Amino acid sequence: MKKMIILSAVFIVMMAAAVVGYQVLSSDYNMEAIEHKGETTDEKETETDDRDTDDQNTDDQDTEKDEPEESINVPVVGTVLAADFTVEDWESVQVNLSDYYGKPVIVNFWATWCGPCKLELPAFDNAYAAYQDEITFLMVNMTDGYSETVDGTKQFIEENGYSFPVYFDTSYEAYQAYGVTAIPMTLFIDADGNLINYELGAMSESTLIGYLQEYYGVE
């Protein structure tokens, strides 16, 4: 009987120890799980921060891409020296804009395929006939060698009986000097080579003469 009692007591002690051991192990496991969860959360937060930073960088890059590239400015008017350029005259001789300083200069950018350009050419021809002694007229043709050629332009001028002098911008130097992206475009330059003003689009004869009177004092 005693032996059975002793065995029962031992069994009870062993069971109690097992229960305590299980609780300790469970507690350790839970602590490790909590610590691991905390580390995982920190890692996720770090990854989220990194993604936020990457998104911010992407937004910055997109903003930079959205910013327009610097374009060529239209001429600055006033007492600023006009940008010089080289073109070819009717005889294929190279001339510079600055060669004509000493009296006022009008530069008109045009082409035979440009409808608005052709509309204002008679006004320029009449103004040239009336003021050629007081003002130099440079009718600068956009001569690309394909849609606009020297021979084709000369034929156009002769067929229409225009008397104003035509210059050929075969290298596009004149057009690039003023960032010309639309024609017709007219520059008004004083006798000292300063750019007074410019006009975009076709002008009527009365408008052109009005500018000549305002800028150069012609009658």
Instruction: Answer for the pair 199, 108: CB distance below 8 angstroms, yes or no.
Output: no
Q: How many CA atoms lie within 13 A of 155 on its CB side?
A: 5
pLDDT of 133: 97
pLDDT of 26: 39
Digit-by-digit pLDDT tens for the chain (219 residues) are 444 444 344 344 344 443 334 343 334 434 443 344 344 444 444 444 544 444 444 444 443 333 333 333 444 556 689 999 999 999 999 999 999 999 999 999 999 999 999 999 999 999 999 999 999 999 999 999 999 999 999 999 999 999 999 999 999 999 999 999 999 999 999 999 999 999 999 999 999 999 999 999 998
Decide: residue 120, CB within 10 A, 0-12 exposed, 13-18 middle, 19+ buried.
buried
Domain ranges of the chain: 1-67, 80-216
Under 8 Å CB-to-CB from 92, ≥6 apart: which residues? 150
pLDDT of 79: 64
Q: How many CA atoms lie within 13 A of 111 on its CB side?
A: 18
Under 8 Å CB-to-CB from 9, ≥6 apart: which residues? none
The single residue listed with the structure tokens 């911008």 is: 169
pLDDT of 85: 97
Dihedral angle, C-alpha 153, 117, 158, 124, nearest 10 °: -130
pLDDT of 145: 92
pLDDT of 219: 87
The single residue listed with the structure tokens 């610097």 is: 70
CA angle 193, 148, 90 (to 5 degrees): 50
pLDDT of 132: 97
| Rounded Cα distance, 183 and 204, in Å | 15
CATH superfamily of 80-216: Glutaredoxin (3.40.30.10)
pLDDT of 77: 56
Distance set, CA 47 to CA 41, 53, 134 (Å): 10, 10, 76
Under 8 Å CB-to-CB from 134, ≥6 apart: which residues? 103, 104, 216, 218
pLDDT of 80: 83
- Give residue 97's identity as a one-letter amino acid code: L
